[in-house]
Amino acid sequence: MLWHRAKKYSWLPQWETGKFSLIGPWDLNFVFEPSRGMPFQRHSDPTIPDADLALDAVIFDTVLWVGQVSLQPSEWETPKAQFEDIVRLFHLGAFGELTVEKLAFIGRTIRARRDAYGGITPSPTSSDEDLFTAHFANLLSTLNVPLPPAVRSLAAAGNKDIFLEAAQNVCSPCRSIFFTMAGHFGLGPYSTAVGDLVAVLGGAHMPVVLGRATREPLAPEPAFDGYELIGECFVDDILHGEIIDATIGGKTHRGPFEPRLLFERLFNFCALAESSRSEYEGLRKVVWRKCEGELEQRRLEVEVIKLIDTMAN
């Protein structure tokens, strides 16, 4: 199941593409609830074209960097190649001081908290999660990632193959990792791009990545008209209604990583696509101003957004 750009109705999945899977857990009796407290509500108005889907949403962040963690299945025997971007982030220090808690967070994200069978591990503090953290540490140790003593001691008790087996079902072959302006770290669609937005839709079981859409994308100066649904994503610290709670309280929501540090490290990331540099530079200036207190922090709010028919005239 896959959503992607330039599809007429971006909110309709391509069911015929059977090799892609949902990023959420496969358990029949378990779902995440990022939209808890905000039910699905479709809006109808004479000014909204019939082909557009207007619904309640909270847009809570903007993508500032995207990396790859997905290769074709035949390449899964080379984890060094598959995790090249992740390894580079560790070497650059983009995650800041590496603690066991941060390592666990990163590992949960890469496998979307799933085990090898698609089931969800009970909770971030469960014994199963502790084992997966050790398995992830073991993988990183084989990839020559510099690890502090507390993490190194975990690696000896881990098995990288167990982590890889769980991650393969989620990552291959159509996922990307991303950082956001507010310090969130997520796993999303392969076609996620710098400048995309991360949102919670009313009634949805997973957060989503949205692209700014236009009616006539090839026009000399296309006007922003709505959004297209790029696909569902996994952001570990907002899956139980935290965004809606922050919205009700008139607050914002920040991830566990420091945006200023991210920009210091990621700007030198050699894999940054040239096509993204101009937009990245713009985001960089905005984030620096935010970090220095020059911009007032925007409070989260529920808004009606339009997922538009991008092929309409």
58/86 same-domain check: no
How high does pLDDT run on average in the chain? 80
Is the same domain home to 37 and 16? yes
> Between these two residues, 165 and 245, which has the higher pLDDT value?
245
Average pLDDT over residues 260-267: 73
3-state secondary structure of 27: coil
Over 70: is that where the pLDDT of 176 sits? yes
Tell me which range, 139-148, 196-205, 245-254, 295-304, is most confidently predicted by mean pLDDT: 196-205
Domain closes at, from 120, 149, 172? 172
pLDDT at 210 over 90: yes
Are residue 191 and residue 291 in the same domain, yes or no?
yes
pLDDT grade, residue 274 (50/70/90)?
A: low
Q: Angle at CA 180, nearest 5°, toward 177 and 181?
A: 160
* Confidence band of 144 (pLDDT split at 50, 70, 90): confident
Residue-range definition of the domain harbouring residue 148: 73-172
- Can you tell me the distance from the alpha carbon of 193 to that of 201, in angstroms, rounded to the nearest whole number? 19
pLDDT-derived band of residue 268, with 50, 70 and 90 as boundaries? Answer: low
Which pLDDT does position 1 carry in this prediction? Answer: 37
List pLDDT tens digits, range 88-124: 888 888 898 999 999 999 999 999 998 877 777 666 5
**Residue 244: per-residue pLDDT:** 96
pLDDT of residue 7: 53
Are residues 167 and 188 both part of a single domain? Answer: no
Quick check: 224 pLDDT over 70? no
pLDDT at 243: 96
Q: Within this chain, do residues 97 and 152 fall inside the same structural domain, yes or no?
A: yes
For residue 77, name the pLDDT band (cuts at 50, 70, 90).
low
Res 140: pLDDT: 93
Return the pLDDT at 61. 92
**166 and 276 part of one domain:** no
The answer on pLDDT for 10 being more than 70 is no
* pLDDT of residue 137 exceeding 90: yes
Final residue belonging to a domain, choices 138, 172, 206: 172
Helix (H) or strand (E) holding 162: helix 160-171
**210 plus 110 within the same structural domain:** no
Same domain? 99 vs 60 = no
The rounded percent of the chain whose pLDDT value lies above 90 is: 31
Residue type, 292: E
How high is the pLDDT of residue 299? 82
Q: For 157-246, where are the E strands, in sequence order?
A: 175-180, 185-189, 197-201, 208-214, 224-232, 234-235
Please give the average per-residue pLDDT across 178-190, as a whole number: 91
pLDDT at 271: 52
Over the stretch 281-312, which tens digit does the pLDDT of each residue have?
776 677 666 655 544 556 889 998 988 866 55
- How many domains does the structure of the chain reveal? 2
pLDDT at residue 89 in the model: 87
Pairing state of beta strands 303-307 and 197-201?
unpaired
Listed ranges 155-159, 266-270, 282-286, 288-292; the one with the highest mean pLDDT: 155-159
111, burial (CB in 10 Å: exposed 0-12, middle 13-18, buried 19+): buried
Q: Do 311 and 294 belong together in one domain?
A: yes
Residue of higher predicted confidence among 109 and 65: 109
pTM: 0.84
State the pLDDT at residue 3: 43
Q: Say what the pLDDT of residue 287 is.
A: 65
Taking CA atoms, 120 is separated from 24, 103, 123, 138, 166, in Å, by 9, 18, 8, 21, 10
Instruction: Note if the bond before 217 is cis, omega within 30 degrees.
Output: no
The verdict on 47 and 107 lying in the same domain is no
Q: Does residue 148 sit in the same domain as residue 195?
A: no
Share of the chain above pLDDT 70, in %: 71
Strand ranges in the chain using DSSP code E only, listed in sequence order: 53-68, 175-180, 185-189, 197-201, 208-214, 224-232, 234-235, 303-307
Which residue among 152, 172, 192 closes a domain? 172
Give pLDDT, residue 2: 40
Instruction: Tell me: do 150 and 197 sit in the same domain.
Output: no
